[in-house]
């Protein structure tokens, strides 16, 4: 069983604002196409097909494209995730 994190609308707004600011990625955030609930994953493109496992982890160049800041310290899994 997976627990659900409850986040307030104002907190989502802060994260969204960060991702589009000069302090954030300021670009589209890549999706997390992993079916296995692996956080911090990215595929090979902006909207990669879903797959099992993780191709690009958070510490790789492509993995960081799934971060709100475009680096290892951002917030991950804002787009996509397990179905």
Q: Classify residue 17: in a domain, yes or no.
A: no
Q: Classify residue 6: in a domain, yes or no.
A: no
Both structure tokens of 7: 């986040």
Nearest C-alpha neighbor of 41 from the set 78, 2, 4, 8: 78
Q: Classify residue 74: in a domain, yes or no.
A: yes
Q: Classify residue 43: in a domain, yes or no.
A: yes
Q: Classify residue 22: in a domain, yes or no.
A: no
Domain that holds residue 73: 30-83
Distance CA(66)–CA(77), nearest Å, equals: 7
Both structure tokens of 8: 């307030």
Q: Classify residue 15: in a domain, yes or no.
A: no
pTM for this one?
A: 0.78
Q: Classify residue 73: in a domain, yes or no.
A: yes
Model confidence over 32-83: pLDDT tens digits? 999 988 999 999 999 999 999 999 999 999 999 999 999 999 999 887 655 4
Q: Classify residue 69: in a domain, yes or no.
A: yes
Model confidence over 15-44: pLDDT tens digits? 888 888 998 998 889 999 999 889 999 999
Give the total number of structural domains in the chain: 1
């Amino acid at each position: 069983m997976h627990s659900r994190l409850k986040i307030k609308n104002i907190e989502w707004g802060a994260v969204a604002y960060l991702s589009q600011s000069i302090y954030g990625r300021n670009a589209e955030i890549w999706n997390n196409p992993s079916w296995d609930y692996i956080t911090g994953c990215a595929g090979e493109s902006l909207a990669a097909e879903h797959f099992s496992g993780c191709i690009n982890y958070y510490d790789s160049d492509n993995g960081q494209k799934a971060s709100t800041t475009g680096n290892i310290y951002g917030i991950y899994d804002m787009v996509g995730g397990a179905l």
